[in-house]
Structure formats: C-alpha cells, structure tokens
Structure 1
C-alpha cells in the first residue's frame, strides 16, 4: 500500500513538473517572438570608467544614434527561434535597407562558440544538466559570421520578462576601426520585454587579452538601446527587401551551420584579397548560388 502511494506521488510530481516546464517554455517563446516587428530604436553608449594609468588616454566618444528597424521572424520551430534585424536608413521616400545583426535562440542547446580574441572562437560543449530549461542566444554579424553566444534562463516575474547573460565578444563596429588597445568586449547583456517594445541593456568591460597573461580591463561602458514598437507599415521597405533576398541569405545561413557543425575551434580571416566577407556577400549580382557562397565563406575559414 505504501509503495503504491509513493509511486502515485512520484508520478503526480513528475506530471506537475512537466506542466510547469511546458508553461515556462511557452512564456519564453512568446517573449522571444515579442521582439519581432517594426521599431524606432535609440542607441546609446558611453564609457563610464577607465583604468589605464596614462594621462594621454582618450575615452571613446559618447554615442547617441537612432533608426528604424524591422525584426523578421526567419525561423520558428520547437526548439529554435531566429530573428533577423533589418535597418532602414536614408531618405524615407527612397530608403536603403541594411541587413543588420541576427539573433538565434536555441532551447537547452549544449554547443557554443565562445569568442577568444583576434577573430578566434573556442568551441564549447556544455553538460545537458547545465543548460536545462535555458535558451542560448547566438548573435551573428551582418554576413552571418559568428559574433557572441551565451546560455541563460528567461525570467518571468512581477509582470517582467527578461534574459541576462555575460559572455565575450569582438569589438563593436563603432570601436574596432578606432581602438586597438583592447581585443575583447566582455558583455553583460539584459534583454527585457516592455509594454512599448523591448530594451537591450548592457554593462561591458573593454578587455585586453594576451597569451600567457591575465586579462586586463582597460575600461567599462554602458549601453542602453530602446526598441519602441510602431506600426508595421513604417517598415514595409524592409519587409519587401527580405522577400527579395531571403532565399540567398538562407543559403548563407546553411553554409555557416555546416561550418559550426564541425564542432571545433574556429579562426576567421579578417580580409581575403583585401576585402571583408560582408562586401562579397552584399553584392547584388555575385554570390547568389550555393556553390559560390560556400567557396567565399570557406576562403575566410582558416585551416
């Protein structure tokens, strides 16, 4: 009798845990997909502290910028959601569309590429129990090459939904042509869904990493980017651009997926024939088929 009661109790607890986990996952999926749509974006960055014992040190300038951005849902499966950002710039009557960053979310994913400086990523395989209930966020460059990745749990409490993670990343575009005194950004990211859209909140360290030495924090910065939802009709130009070009970028993503599936450390060339990868792939005439796309991407992968 006692064994029967105990077995029944264990089954009941297991069912309750499964129901709770399924409810949590649905809330996570909704929060991620709530980042889709048309947004007025404000980008704000400022260097807060520096730790260089050098009177000639010049901190980065404060950056305030804004734009209109369409976030497209490009994949929505059981355990993966992919969002492509498209920036709308120029004359509103004749806008120019910039294929911007992409964020992929994968449920209980164990395979990550962690940035190690100087265009190198270290492959990491995490234990399954370490990522239980978590979502990894993988962020990619404009050419769909890797940028940064991390795994954490979405939190839904007091009417808030947010995801926080700390991970290493390359220098942001606003910095990498201007700064050479550090080679890693240690990013503390928080993405929070709000009533008006969402917020990307950052507290970052600017880190100098050299072989055989301890990491040195050169300076710190604050980033606060707000995405305010507006009517989708304001982003029609970006939606039209994606309809015309999505097939090509599907091929690009597929090629990169094949590279990542090798599950080994990755080192990329900055330029090939003095030209960066995005300049090849952004061509409207060339690199439109699978073979050409594969060849040019492989040319940037160091053997």
Structure 2
C-alpha cells in the first residue's frame, strides 16, 4: 500500500503564558485511578460502494488501573494497567496503553507506515500553532507509538474536554489480525470528564490507500470508551505489579522517546531483527528487570535509521 499525504489541521490560538493552566493539569490528572471500562466500537455509515457494515458492535468490559508515572509542570504520563483473569481465575496484570501529555509541544509524529512497516513522519508546529495546546501521545503495550494529536482543553459550563486534530493511526488491535480490507484510520479524539470518571470518544474513518489510486473512505465508525470510577481489590494487584516493573518500563518509555526525538524527518522501527522478536526481547528484559542502559542497547537494533 502507498499512503497519500494527510495534512494536519491547522489550529490558530492566541499566545498563552508559558505555564499551563491549572485546570488543564487537573483534568489530565483526574483520569488516573481505578475504573470499570466499557469499550464500544460501532460502524455506522458505509461510504465505499458495496461496503457492508460490520454486523455487530465490538463491546468489551474490563477493570483498568491508571497510574500517574510522570508528573512535571509541562508533561504528564498516565499508564493504563488492565487486570484480567489469569490461570485458575487469579488476577493477572496486562500493561495496556499509555497517554503522554506535553504542554505547547511543537514536534509531533504522524503515522505513515505501509503494511508491516512501522513508520511515523515528524510534523513540526509553529509556536503560534502550539500556543495553549497539549499534545497527547498514545503508546502501545510495548511503549512504541500508536498516534499523537494536539488540541486545547476547554473548561466551560461545568464541562472539561480536550479535542484533537485529525490523526492517522495503524489498524487497531481488535482488527489487525482479522481484517485486511483497509489500511489505516483517521481519527478525531475527545476526552471529557464526567461526574464519576471520564469518556474517550473516537470519530473514526477507515481508509483504503493502495497503489496509485486515490485514498478512499471505507466507512465511518464511532468509538465510546467509558471509564467509571470504582473501588476494587484489584487496584492493589495492579499497583504491586507496577511497583515491581515500573522502573523497567520507565526505561523503555524513555528509550522510545529519545529515539523519536533523534529522528530528523521520520521515525521507524521493526518488530523483528536478525531473527529476534521485539516482543520476546521485551519479555526477557522485563523478566531480568534490565537497567535503562541494557534496554537501550538491546532495543537500538530495532530502530531503522533513515
């Protein structure tokens, strides 16, 4: 497949003071805690000729503990930890996605991969475009990037919401092993706080982009992921797991962050190098509780120099 260019939506905002508003930081931090999460995705509008909508919605529910793993005045990282039933129904922690928020960031990444190539273009914003905004970088379970967007938090009439520009991203985990009829998503995200948690809305367009043909929208899909605060004994299970493994994953997150920062025009990586699987290398390094220096040495071969 060949990806055609996707222009970032240009947003114009007045210049704000260097420090982020306290209400913005409070809204981001308010997403932490233990939640019952309901994931709901529903295709609803076919665009391409003869496309048949998925016959039913995707619905899943889980307990998710969200830890604040980094908190500085201009950068906040939230790590999501799923707690599921493991062997003999014992609770098991799965490191899920993370969201990394940066104030007035001028350097973003935009997915531009082809098939199994993991490639992100570097997008530069002007200081005027970035003024008053937060970028949200969402990472995958191995802390590699999934997507990044930017926008402003709005606090009005009791509502606190953040809405992104349109961002391009790879197929979601729920579909990339079962579908090959589209190539990527273009998504607008909104995070809204509620009285008992928060909601993540996703306005999705599924795109076919192959060969020299113009890119085409296959269909529209809505995602509504509802996070409802709860009290659960599983909280301590997740916190104990993170206490054991958090330093290791801090090193992994820092490695990928530095690799992206060092990329001049695009950031690329592979999931297999010299017969070694990235996921298996990370599993081994986690079991060894490897240092940040060891993590950097072992993951560097997976980064593709361009």
Q: Do they fold alike, i.e. is TM over 0.5?
A: yes
After TM superposition, give the deviation of residue 137 of structure 1 in Å.
Answer: 0.4
Task: Indicate if the aligned counterparts of 2:197 and 2:227 stay in contact, CA closer than 8 A.
Answer: yes
2:209 counterpart of 1:209: yes
Distance 1:129 1:239, change over 3 A: same
User: What is the match of residue 198 of structure 1?
Assistant: 198
2:80 counterpart SS class: strand
2:83 to 85, 88, 92: 88
> 2-side partners of 1:36 and 1:98: how far apart?
17
Instruction: Say which of 107, 111, 126 aligns to 2:107.
Output: 111
Distance 1:45 1:279 in 2: 30
- Greater relative contact order structure (CA < 8 Å, 6+ sep): 2
- Counterpart contact for 1:142–1:278, Cα < 8 Å: no
Q: Work out the CA distance in 2 between the residues paired with 1:128 and 1:86.
A: 34
* TM-score after normalising by structure 1: 0.86
Aligned counterparts of 1:287 and 1:234: Cα–Cα separation in 2: 23
Structure 1 residues without counterparts, runs of 5 or longer = 1-16
Q: What is the distance in 1 between the residues matched to 2:275 and 2:183? A: 21
- d(CA) in 2 for partners of 1:290, 1:170: 28
In structure 2, relative to structure 1, the CA distance for the partners of 1:181 and 1:276 (3 Å cut) is farther
What is the rounded CA distance, in whole Å, between the counterparts of 1:301 and 1:115 in structure 2?
A: 15
> Judging changes above 3 Å, is the alpha-carbon distance between structure 1 residues 54 and 300 closer, same or farther for their aligned structure 2 residues?
farther
Q: Deviation above 6 Å: which 4+ runs of structure 1?
A: none
Alpha-carbon contact 1:117-1:209 (below 8 Å) kept: no
Provide the residue aligned with 1:32 in structure 2.
28
2-side partners of 1:58 and 1:190: how far apart? 24
1:9 corresponds to: none
Aligned 8 A contact 1:106 1:137 in 2: yes
- Structure 1: distance between partners of 2:294 and 2:169: 28
| More off after superposition, 224-233 vs 242-251 | 224-233
**Is residue 85 of structure 2 the alignment partner of residue 121 of structure 1?**
no
Tell me which residue corresponds to 2:159: 160
Shift in alpha-carbon separation, 1:93–1:180, aligned structure 2, 3 A: closer
Asked if 2 retains the 8 angstrom alpha-carbon contact of 1:83 and 1:104, the reply is: yes
Greater share of helix residues, 1 or 2?
1
**Corresponding residue for 1:285?**
287
Determine the structure 1 residue equivalent to 2:67.
72
Larger radius of gyration: 1
Distance 1:126 1:144 in 2: 24
